[in-house]
Amino acid sequence: MKGSTVNLNLHNVSVEDEREVILKDITFDFKPGKIYVLIGRTGSGKTSLMRTIAGLIEPTDGEIYLGEERLDEVPIWQRGIAMVYQQFINYPQRTVLNNVEFPLLRSGISKADAKVQALAMLEKVGLTEFKDRKPSQLSGGQQQRVAIARALVRNTRVILLDEPLMNLDYKLREQLREEFRILFKTTSNSVTIYATTEPSESLFLGDELLVMRQGRIIQHGKPNYVFENPSTIDVAQIVNDPPMSILDGEIKGGRVNIDGSINFEVPNHLKSQPDGKYKIGMRASEVILGGNMSNSEEGSVSLAEVSGSETLLYVKLRIGEVVLQLEGIHDYHIGQRVVISIAPERIFLFNMDSTLCAAPGN
């Protein structure tokens, strides 16, 4: 399965059992040399899609092609697809070098050539000095590098990475994101598919973003485009961390009214929208603490959560709940009264059926 680069094509791939639909009508063309990021909540179908491509799950309908070859008719052991999981799956009794050599030796490469290729890959992932250690003697990040090196050294045409940074601490995850993007872009001409639940990770790593929900791809495109133009409320909440706050509102007579409490002039990007009832979306980073104008509302703190160097403030209003993302660490207690303001020029407008009508900057 090594050699020239080819596309991976899925045509109406579905996976169902007696209890549920796991994947439904997945059609997509994955091209080599790009990083495709699957993003969705736990249970959205990301892992199931990867396992179906790898042959660990048999589709109940549809076809999978790797180039001209019907991949879903090829036995698992002959597909030559590399898959990296959340867990650090390495051979504990083997050294780092032996771990990376192993798939090469199994493919029939000589011991001497396997060692040369494995050492070159270890240099690329920054593990040359650890080549004689056992995995148990490495940190979590180093162990995951070993797993990545073993996947990349095989020069397979498809690499599947199922939340490989999930079990690492926040600081190490940020460091490895940068390293992995450089590594994948400079080392691999494979089709690379990376699954995550983390919006920041998906925006940073992906050349193409595939948003998944309930076993379906509900939007795909360039990461920045999807982030700025989420097609539905589901997409908007999946690609934002914390999820976008949504409140009921209305446009009437040139003004935006949110549940009769917050009221302001229609901003420029909404002027072409007809009067009617809508869903109003706001990112946490764009909800403002304080204010005493018509676009403000008083509420009570329901949760204050420190995340890294930021504080997420959940504020319960009469009209619903919104989340604020504040720089720095702040001390708020549950029930504390605060005033929040909405930035009219930064709101998203969705139909009552949750479809995007207008986004800031459009």
Q: What is the pLDDT of residues 115-125, one digit of tens each?
A: 999 999 898 88
Q: What is the mean pLDDT of residues 196-211?
A: 93
Residue 2 has what pLDDT? Answer: 45
Q: Which amino acid is at 148?
A: I
pLDDT digits (tens, 9 = 90+) for 39-69: 999 999 999 999 999 999 999 999 999 999 9
Residue 15 has what pLDDT? Answer: 96
pLDDT at 158 over 70: yes
Cα 295 to Cα 104, 170, 216, 349, distances in angstroms: 63, 35, 37, 16
Confidence of residue 340 (pLDDT cuts 50, 70, 90): very high
Query: What domains appear along the chain, each with residue ranges and CATH number?
Result: 8-232 (3.40.50.300), 245-358 (2.40.50.140)
Q: What is the mean pLDDT of residues 154-177?
A: 78
DSSP state of 201: H
CB 225 within 8 A of CB 211: no
Characterize the bridge pairing of strands 82-84 and 287-289: unpaired
Return the percentage of the chain with pLDDT > 90, whole number: 62
pLDDT digits (tens, 9 = 90+) for 21-35: 999 999 999 999 889
Q: Which of 304, 294, 305, 302 is nearest to 341 (CA)?
A: 294
Q: What is the mean pLDDT of residues 322-336?
A: 93
